[in-house]
Amino acid sequence: MWLYRLLLTLAAPFIARRIWRFHKRYDNYRVREALGDWRPVTADLWLHCASVGEVLAAKALIEQWLKAHPEGRLLVTTVTPTGEAQLQKSFAGRVEHRYLPLDHNTCVKRALRSLNCPQLAIIETELWPNLLQQAKAQGMIIQVINARLSQRSADRYGKFSLVSKPLMALPDRFLAHAEADAERFKALGAKDVPVVGNIKFDVSAPDDPEVLKWQAHLAPQKEFVWIAASTHEGEDEQFLEAHKTLQQQVPEAKLILVPRHPERFDSVYERCQQAGFSTARRSENAFEQWSQADVLLGDSMGEMMRYFAMADVAFVAGSMIERGGHNPIEPAVLAKPIIVGEHTFNFADITESLVRDQGACRVHSVEELVQQLLMLVNADQRLQMGQRALHNAQANQGALARVLRYLEV
C-alpha cells in the first residue's frame, strides 16, 4: 500500500484540479463531502456508483431493492456531479446521496465516522484501496456487483501485484459477469467469485411516450436514422465521413451523434458544422428544427435509451479506436441491429456473443461501416438482425434476482 499512497500523493495536484473544475461547473457538487465532511447517515445498504453510467446500470437494482425493503434506507455515493444529477432525476427523496470521499486515509476516515451501515456494494470494478481497507476495518461486508475484468486490465493489474493482490483480497465477494471474468479475478487474488451474469441485461424497453414525439420531429417522413453512441476523440470524424458517404445514396438519412463525455459536446458540434452538416442540438434546438438537420447532437445526460429507441441502427462506439468499446446491451434489449468496430475488449464476451448470434456485426473501416448501413436501410434486414439481438439479450437475463439475493445479509 505504500506504493499506492506514494502515487496518490504524486497525483494530488491533478485530483485537486478535478475537484475545482467540478466545483466551478456544477452547482450540485459539494466539495466538503468529497473531502470527507459527511452529514451523519444511517443506511441498510451503501451502493457506490461512480458516475452516470453506473447509476443507470444500477437503476433496476435500486428499484427492486427499494420495493423489497419499503422501510429500508439506501445510501448511494457517486464521484461525479452528473451521476448525482441522474440519481436525483430517478430517485429524488427515495435514497440518500453523498459524494464519495477522496481516497486519502484522512478523508475516508472522516466520512466513515459519520456512517452507520453494515454493507457496501460497488457497481462495476471501482476499487479504492483506502476506502476498502477502512470499510473492512469498520466491519462492513463488501461486494462488487457487475464485476468485469478484461484481459488487458488483468494484465495491467498483474504488473503491479504488490498492490493488486492485497486489493483484490479486500472485497468479500465479486459477482462476476462471466466465467472468464471470474477466473481473472481469482488469478489476481479475489476470494469468492460466483458468476451471476450482467444486471444490465435485466433492463426492459421503457414505455416512453417521449420517444414517439422525438421520432415524429426528427424523421417525420420515416427517414433512415442511425446512431453513433458514446463516441470518443478520433471517432467523430469517421462517423461524419460515413454519414456524408451514406447521404450520397440515401439523401434523407440522419445521424444521431452522442459523445461519451459532456466536455466534448461543443467541440463535436463545431466539427459537425465544419463538415458541412446542418446540426441540431438536443439541449438548444426546438423539436421543430430537428427535421431540418442532417445530424442531431445528443448533448444530454441520461437519455441514451431514448436516442437508441429513435434509431433504426445502433453503432456502439469506443470501438473504432483502441478504447475498447461500450456496452451493447441497451440497443439489443430494444431490438436494434448493432454495429461495432474492431476494438471491443471492454465487453468482449457480450459483443462476441451478439456477433456470433448475428444480432451485431463488426466493421474495420469507414467503408465497411457505410456498406453495412446501406444493407440495413432495408427494413426486413433490420428487423431480422434486431430480433436476433433481442433474443440474445433475453437469453442472458436473470442476473438481477441473483444479485439481490447476495445483498440480503
Task: Kindly report, residue by residue over 144-173, the tens digit of the pLDDT.
Answer: 999 999 898 999 988 888 888 999 999 999
Question: Is there a contact between 252 and 281 (Cβ–Cβ < 8 Å)?
Answer: no
The predicted structure's pLDDT at residue 363: 98
**Integer-rounded Cα radius of gyration of the chain:** 22
Q: Is the pLDDT of residue 389 over 90?
A: yes
Local confidence band at 8 (pLDDT 50, 70, 90 cut-offs): low
**Domains 32-202+398-406 and 209-395 agree in fold:** yes
Q: Which CATH class is domain 32-202+398-406?
A: alpha beta
Q: Is the pLDDT of residue 110 over 80?
A: yes
Contacts of 77 (CB under 8 A, 6+ apart): 46, 47, 48, 49, 97, 98, 99, 100
Task: Look at residue 139 and give its three-state secondary structure.
Answer: coil
Active site residues: 54
Nearest residue to 98 via CA among 4, 34, 54, 187: 34
The CATH number assigned to the domain with range 209-395 reads: 3.40.50.2000
| Element containing residue 150 per DSSP (H, E) | none
Q: Is the pLDDT of residue 274 over 80?
A: yes
Nearest residue to 239 via CA among 215, 255, 218, 225: 255
Give the whole-angstrom CA distance, residue 172 versus residue 170: 6
The predicted structure's pLDDT at residue 12: 67
Give the whole-angstrom CA distance, residue 57 versus residue 15: 26
What mean pLDDT do residues 182-197 have?
96
Q: Residue 296 has which C-alpha cell?
A: 442531431
For the chain, the structural domain boundaries read 32-202+398-406, 209-395
How far from each other are the two terminal CA atoms of the chain, in whole angstroms? 29
Give the whole-angstrom CA distance, residue 185 versus residue 329: 23
The predicted structure's pLDDT at residue 161: 82
Please give the single-letter amino acid code of residue 111: A
Q: Mean pLDDT, the chain, as a whole number?
A: 94
Give the whole-angstrom CA distance, residue 245 versus residue 156: 39
Q: Residue 365 has which C-alpha cell?
A: 473501416
Local confidence band at 6 (pLDDT 50, 70, 90 cut-offs): low
Give the whole-angstrom CA distance, residue 361 versus residue 344: 12
What mean pLDDT do residues 78-103 have?
94
The predicted structure's pLDDT at residue 10: 62
Local confidence band at 302 (pLDDT 50, 70, 90 cut-offs): confident
